[in-house]
Amino acid sequence: MPDLLRIPRGPTLLVGAILLVVSWAGECPAEWGQNWGAMVWGESFSSVPDVDRAVTEFALYPNFPNPFNPRTVIRYALPESAPVTLRVYSVDGRTVRTLMVSSSQPAGYHERVWDGADDSGQAAATGVYFCTMDAGQTRQTIRMVLIR
């Protein structure tokens, strides 16, 4: 049988199944670190922060998953403590959701989840959205795609 058709047996399959169940529930133990979602879903590790390294610059990482339904994780890094504002905008520039306003955050890696809803709790429509992070003197934006 070709290797591509073989089903892994043993601990690999068990660990994969456990990670998949945990990721479906949206929870993971803190000791697994921030990279757990990338391991489950196969995201390239190049866009995932390496939590063992010190943060040297402000960064807003690509959301994951993208496209998404019903929610996505927005990761960001701060080299120093700073007030952070995270907002989601529609393509016409309208504020759809404010995830955080001038919340003082310590240096390090952080994440927020956007559940695909607007500020009033109504589900946002399928489409392209932008998430903007204002931290210190830095502003960065990522593009997100919501598919209902």
pLDDT given at position 136: 87
Q: How many CB atoms lie within 10 A of CB 22?
A: 16
pLDDT given at position 16: 41
pTM: 0.67
Write the CATH number for 124.
2.60.40.4070
pLDDT given at position 107: 95
- Distance of alpha carbon 147 from alpha carbon 145, whole angstroms: 6
Residues 6+ apart with CB under 8 A from 69: 116, 146, 147, 148
Residues 6+ apart with CB under 8 A from 20: 40
| 130 contacts 144 by C-beta, under 8 angstroms | yes
Domains identified in the chain, total number: 1
| 104 contacts 124 by C-beta, under 8 angstroms | no
- Distance of alpha carbon 95 from alpha carbon 90, whole angstroms: 7
Token pair for 105: 């955050």
pLDDT given at position 54: 84
What residue numbers bound the domain in which 57 lies? Answer: 3-146
pLDDT in tens, the chain (148 residues): 454 444 445 544 433 433 333 344 444 444 444 444 443 344 433 445 555 678 999 999 999 999 999 999 999 999 999 999 999 999 999 999 999 999 899 999 999 999 999 999 999 999 999 999 999 899 999 999 999 9
